[in-house]
Amino acid sequence: MERFDNSPETALAWHREGIGAALATVVQTWGSAPRRVGSQLAIGGDGRIEGSVSGGCVEGAVIVEAQEAIEDGRHRLLEFGVSDEDAFAVGLACGGTIMVLVEPVGSALPVGLLEELVAARAARQAVAYEVNLKTGARRLVRDGYPERMRMDRSGMEEDGETFVAVHNPPLRLIVVGAVHIAQALVPMARIAGYDPVIVDPRETFASAARFPGETILHDWPDEAVARLGLDSRTALVLLTHDPKIDDPALEAALGADVFYIGALGSTRTHAKRVERMKAAGFTEAQIARIHGPVGLDIGAAGPAEIAVAILAEMTAVLRGVRP
């Protein structure tokens, strides 16, 4: 998946600074386009940029068009063919075609609408930005386009006029237990686009030396998840084997809307976990959300392969191909 970028926030900040700004968004692609639909580039009135719509192939032309759009206040729909040579330069085997929507902030894209979008993103609220490319009508849609939101798939609707940009919160992974598997899982998850957090009250395990540059919380897991918040873009993975540490976080997750719950342990260990959750008052349907033993059965041996199995299962659940 694409990493979470701050193009809307950047465009709003540049507009507020008075230099003018526009947002460019990939709305359609054909062939091997360098960036996926929904990718964005913020362009300042002075030519500064943040983000990307092509990996460098057409940014220069988009910047020129964006500056003209800032001047005349009208959105533009641009189409570019990415040659084989240019595509190869950004790591592709062959070229393609991309369509880019350029929207000047404060005219075509109302400031109030952009502010609402930025506020929703800051609050980790999932929203869809809908624009009719012919009429220019724009709005934010909450609780709509469920399939697009689940799949993180921006794109054109069947009418050929309506473009929907998905703005989901960044994926987040809360790992309880700073064990060897966590040392492999956390960097893998970060590469896959997750924002990981390690929770373990045992400071010997959860140290900066073992997890350089990562967010580490030494709170008890129930306190940590209460502080972090649990939502539909959060995965929780329990790795300690210790019910005193795992169970408080597990109980919090079972009562929340996290998209994935995984717990390390054998089938026997998981059976005991199920009995503890039943005793705590959780229903069979709630308990069935726990993936235990954690990860896809790929015959994993060793921490790194177990981490691969966990990340694969998280992805399968997120994308709706596994319950």
Q: Where among 148, 167, 186 does a domain terminate?
A: 167
The count of structural domains within the chain is: 2
**DSSP notation for 209-247:** TTSTT-EEE-S-HHHHHHHH---TTEEEEE-S--HHHHH
Task: Indicate whether 291 belongs to any domain.
Answer: yes
What pLDDT was estimated at residue 92? 45
Query: Is 212 found in the same domain as 148?
Result: no
Mean pLDDT score, 65-84: 89
pLDDT value of residue 148: 92
Question: What's the CA gap between 13 and 240, in Å, rounded?
Answer: 43
d(CA 184, CA 284) in angstroms, rounded, equals 32
* Same domain membership, residue 314 and residue 186: yes
Do 224 and 291 have their domain in common?
yes
Pick the last residue of a domain from 120, 141, 167. Answer: 167
Which residue do the tokens 């954690």 mark? 294
Per the DSSP assignment, residues forming a β-bridge with 271 are: none
Tokens encoding 260:
């994935």
How does pLDDT run across 160-195, given as a tens digit for each residue? 999 999 999 889 999 999 999 999 999 999 999 899
Is residue 2 in some structural domain? Answer: no
Q: How far apart are the C-alpha atoms of 12 and 14, rounded to whole Å?
A: 6
148 and 180 inside one domain: no
If 0-12 CB within 10 Å is exposed, 13-18 middle and 19+ buried, where does residue 154 land? buried
Tokens for 43, please give them: 């362009």
**DSSP one-letter code for 26:** E
295-311 pLDDT per residue, tens: 999 999 999 999 999 99
Dist. CA 39–CA 165, nearest whole Å:
9
Give the residue among 99, 27, 108 at the shortest CA–CA distance from 72.
108
Domain assignment present for 323: no
- DSSP-derived letter for residue 170 is P
Q: Which of 96, 77, 122, 76 is nearest to 35 (CA)?
A: 96
| Domain match, 138 and 214 both | no
For the beta sheet containing 290-291, the strands, ordered from the edge strand earlier in sequence to the opposite edge, are 215-217, 194-199, 171-176, 234-238, 260-263, 290-291
Closest CA to 140 of 171, 116, 157, 163: 116
Considering the domain architecture, whether residues 198 and 163 belong to the same structural domain is answered as no
Residues 15 and 116 in one domain: yes
Residue 91 has pLDDT above 50, yes or no: no
The answer to whether residues 253 and 231 touch, using CB atoms and an 8 Å cutoff, is no
pLDDT of residue 151: 86
1 in any annotated domain: no
Residue 40 half-sphere exposure, CB side, CA atoms within 13 Å?
22
Note whether 135 and 224 are same-domain residues: no
Model pLDDT, residue 81: 79
**Residue 89, pLDDT score:** 53
The two beta strands, 290-291 and 260-263, are parallel
Is residue 184 domain-shared with residue 79, that is, in the same domain? no
The one-letter amino acid at 95: G
CATH of the domain at 238: 3.40.50.720
Place of tokens 């609402």: 116
Instruction: Point out the domain boundary residue: 139, 167, 195.
Output: 167
Determine contact, residues 15/106, Cβ cutoff 8 Å. yes
257 within a domain of the structure (yes/no): yes
Distances (CA, A) of 220 to 50, 178, 250: 39, 13, 12
If asked whether residues 237 and 159 sit together in one domain, one would say no
Residues 145 and 240 in one domain: no
Domain boundaries, position 243: 171-318
Query: Rounded CA gap, 192 and 1, in Å?
Result: 7
Evaluate if pTM is beyond 0.85.
Answer: no
Higher-confidence residue of 262 and 320: namely 262
Pairing of strands 194-199, 171-176: parallel
Report whether the peptide linkage leading into residue 293 is cis, meaning its omega lies within 30 degrees of zero. yes
Lowest mean pLDDT among 83-92, 121-130, 169-178: 83-92
Flag whether pLDDT at 292 surpasses 90: yes
pLDDT, mean over the chain? 91
Regarding whether 131 and 12 lie in a shared domain, the answer is: yes
Chain length of the chain: 323
Q: Among 112, 129, 122, 106, which Cα is nearest to 40's?
A: 129
Non-local (6+) Cβ contacts of 317 within 8 A are 259, 260, 291, 323
